[in-house]
């Protein structure tokens, strides 16, 4: 009786983990995308410039919303100061209608985009969100173009 109860509990635990994994996107394989982050300015506004290179052997698709709308929350940005403390990201206000479609990246292709930081973060240090020693990380969803959007790209934390 005790053995049957133990097996039943193990099966329930396994089923709950599997059901949870079905709803959470998998983290990307490290070899799929190379992501580079840099500081930038567009129209005298501070930006986080993102360069994405497809290093896989497959055609990769990324939502246009993540790449072409600098105000979108489709590309999540995480910033830390020189001491490693996370900078708070307040919820954004008005959101434009999302851009439909996907951008296709062939193996070896790259795409550049940017994200406005002054619309997402309080501006410390006299209007500049880039104090010395700051680091950033971005997260966005992508997938192989002939498959579902099952991957989540997470860049390494990079010093700006």
Mean predicted confidence (pLDDT) in 104-118: 90
Say how many C-beta atoms besides its own lie within 10 A of residue 12's C-beta.
10
Q: How do residues 71-90 score in pLDDT, each as one tens digit? A: 777 888 888 888 888 877 76
Confidence of residue 25 (pLDDT cuts 50, 70, 90): very low
- Among 31-35, 102-106, 128-132, 152-156, which is the least confidently predicted range? 128-132
The rounded distance, in Å, linking the Cα atoms of 37 and 76 is 13
Architecture of the domain defined by 25-159: Sandwich (2.60)
Confidence of residue 50 (pLDDT cuts 50, 70, 90): very high
Q: How do residues 112-151 score in pLDDT, each as one tens digit? A: 999 887 766 665 555 555 667 788 899 888 988 877 667 7
Average pLDDT, the chain: 75
Q: Are 25 and 150 within 8 A, CB to CB?
A: yes
């Amino acid at each position: 009786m005790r053995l049957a109860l133990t097996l039943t509990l193990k099966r329930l635990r396994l089923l709950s983990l599997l059901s949870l994994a079905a709803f959470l996107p998998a983290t990307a394989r490290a070899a799929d995308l190379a992501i580079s982050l840099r500081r930038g300015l567009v129209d005298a506004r501070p930006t986080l410039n993102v360069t994405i290179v497809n290093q896989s052997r497959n055609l990769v698709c990324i939502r246009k919303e993540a790449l072409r709308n600098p105000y979108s929350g489709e590309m999540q940005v995480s910033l830390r100061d020189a001491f490693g403390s996370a900078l708070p990201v307040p919820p954004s206000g008005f959101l434009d209608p999302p851009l439909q479609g996907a951008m296709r990246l062939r193996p070896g292709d790259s795409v550049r985009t940017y994200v406005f930081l002054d619309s997402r973060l309080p501006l410390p240090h006299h209007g500049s969100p880039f104090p010395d020693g700051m680091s950033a990380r971005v997260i966005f969803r992508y997938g192989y173009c002939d498959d579902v959007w099952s991957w989540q790209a997470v860049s390494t934390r990079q010093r700006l």
